[in-house]
Structure 1
Amino acid sequence: MKTTQISIVAALVVLLLFSAVLASRSIASKSSTERNIKGDGFAVLELFTSEGCSSCPPADELLAKIQKEAGNRPVYVLTYHVDYWDRLGWKDAFSNSDYSKRQYQYASKLGAQVYTPQLVVNGKTEFVGSNESATDYAINSALKGTPEATLSLHGKIQSGKMALNYQLNGNSDNAELVIAVVQKEAITKVKRGENEGRTLAHAQIVRQLYSFNLEKAEKGEVNISVSEDFNPNGWEVIGLLQHPKTRAITAATKVVF
């Protein structure tokens, strides 16, 4: 074989090897929400964040990415804007003391500190909300699990009110039904505080949070209020079945209208 032919063959081999490496890296880089994960589980991602926190935007961006990639998989993203940053230069318009209280409840049960951005998965584990590898692992593990119960919710809107009919199956004794009214996206120009001058994009913002003690009722109806600008295109309602003592979430679903 001539030298020129050998050189061409060698170049082709190198090119094929390089392409194979790139392909393997591409596959490995896919997040857990993009993979075909087998299992009957679900993943509820609760991010505690604030517009006044300079380390929060990367976590907000990660959760927005996960929400976009989730598709029809049972991955539920909720972002709570806490209020304890409001006194430090910038008042977050989405903040609520109820969300700070919820975070403190998790910290107490999980033996964790309170900080932002903090991500809690299925009420059972917590870590820094911008940690993509930890988030992927937690989603993967949760989706492979077997839920203790199932929950279905059907809603009807009328004059600023929403009637929610629920149906429970499985282990639901003494559970709480938690209803989160979620604005899918928003943009804020921050004028003061740690993020001064930045334009922040938000996703899956919890605007209202309700909790109902169901005791042993397997089906029934609860009623909540919704804002005047609520619509199924820009908003959604997510329901959680949560143990009041351990704070573990045993079922989750979106409201069907």
Structure 2
Amino acid sequence: MAPRLLSCLVKPSSSEKINAMADVEAEEQRQGGAVVVELFTSQGCATSPEAELLASRLGRGDFELGIPLILLAHHVDYWDYMGWKDPFGSSLSTVRQKTYVEALGLDTMFTPQVVVQGRAHCTGTDQEALLASITSAPRFPAPTFQANFQRPSPDTLQVSLSGALRMKVDSNGANVMVALYENGLITNCQSGENKGKVLSNDFVVRKLDKLCSIKDISSKKTVSGAVNFPLWEGFNSGKCVIAVFVQNSSHQTFGSQNFKLPENL
């Protein structure tokens, strides 16, 4: 079943909500919100496990950066011909990486590669460069989305979101993206460059879809929409998280949020 994009509505927020948010918004404007870190990786790449470990350490807070992070691991499929088909690999992840290669003016694609806030990139194993990219990345207030989760069918998760973006969107427009990712995945790699290794993967993007496209709205207007995600065999909501983030036409990332899924959903 393919993901189905439902309607996206834009309406003014109530004055009460705006007033209640004023102090929080001012503080977040000073401190900044989360930084989105996207890892492009593959179980078929010999150096990707090192990058995966670095990403997991970031997620655990090992480096004490004092910066909230949203980590997403996109498993590409162009390593599959090397003898091991990544069970999480996707042609859509490969297309997303190509989009960043073009937007950043790069010559080629490679794994492991990290893109930070859609603005900077580095090799996924280069700890120093990665930490520097994160600490220097621009930060933006998080949207005020509220999330509702439903299972309209056994193999479908519906994610409904409503809230203010807290950023003005001009006539160039922006997309609100929704990612469903999973932590704590273990794979016994039986062939390819990582043959014989037990691979641990976190932040694995299972599905990525567009909630809606918007333009010409103020930071205080409410955006509402829903996305249907097809689920996979063995789906465990307790291991899954929803990430929401805003990207402009240049694929630069602005506000972002994380939502843990309820257990036993």
> Normalised by the shorter chain, which TM-score bucket?
0.7 to 0.9
Q: Which runs of 5+ in 1 are unaligned?
A: 1-37
Q: How many residues align?
A: 217
CA distance in 1, matches of 2:93, 2:146: 23
Q: What amino acid maps onto 1:44 in structure 2?
A: V
Contact persistence 2:240–2:260 (CA under 8 A): no
Contact persistence 1:189–1:198 (CA under 8 A): yes
Q: What amino acid maps onto 1:141 in structure 2?
A: S
Q: What amino acid maps onto 1:219 in structure 2?
A: V
Contact persistence 2:33–2:141 (CA under 8 A): no
Partner residue in 1 for 2:188: 189
- Any idea what SS the aligned residue of 2:158 has? strand
Do structure 1's residue 233 and structure 2's residue 228 form an aligned pair? Answer: no
Partner residue in 2 for 1:81: 75
- Any idea what SS the aligned residue of 2:50 has? helix
CA distance in 2, matches of 1:200, 1:172: 41
CA distance in 1, matches of 2:258, 2:201: 20
* Residues 175-214 of structure 1 mapped to structure 2, 5 A cutoff: 175-214=174-213
- Give the drift of 1:110: 0.2
TM-score, length basis structure 1: 0.78
Whichever of the two has the greater Rg, that structure is 1
Post-superposition CA distance 1:30-75 (Å, at most 9, x none): xxxxxxxx82142111000000000111100000110111799520
| RMSD of equivalent CA atoms | 2.2
Partner residue in 1 for 2:161: 165
Post-superposition CA distance 1:124-167 (Å, at most 9, x none): 0111011111111122223xx44277352412222323132232
Do structure 1's residue 105 and structure 2's residue 99 form an aligned pair? Answer: yes
- CA gap of 1:246–1:136, structure 2 versus 1, over 3 A, is same
CA distance in 1, matches of 2:157, 2:200: 28
Partner residue in 2 for 1:116: 111
* Residues 207-226 of structure 1 mapped to structure 2, 5 A cutoff: 207-216=206-215, 218-226=222-230
- CA gap of 1:152–1:118, structure 2 versus 1, over 3 A, is same
- Give the drift of 1:256: 6.1
When structure 1 is superposed on structure 2, of 85-94 and 221-230 the one drifting more is: 221-230
CA distance in 1, matches of 2:89, 2:226: 25
Partner residue in 2 for 1:247: 251
- Give the drift of 1:240: 1.0
* Residues 31-42 of structure 1 mapped to structure 2, 5 A cutoff: 39-42=31-34
Partner residue in 2 for 1:155: 148
Contact persistence 1:149–1:171 (CA under 8 A): no
Q: Which runs of 5+ in 2 are unaligned?
A: 1-29
Identity of aligned residues (%): 28
- CA gap of 1:155–1:231, structure 2 versus 1, over 3 A, is farther
- Give the drift of 1:226: 4.3
- CA gap of 1:106–1:153, structure 2 versus 1, over 3 A, is farther
Larger RCO, structure (CA 8 Å, separation 6 or more): 2
Post-superposition CA distance 1:146-198 (Å, at most 9, x none): 42773524122223231322322222341111111001120111111111111
Q: What amino acid maps onto 2:43 in structure 1?
A: E
TM-score, length basis structure 2: 0.75
Deviating runs (4+, > 6 A) in structure 1? none
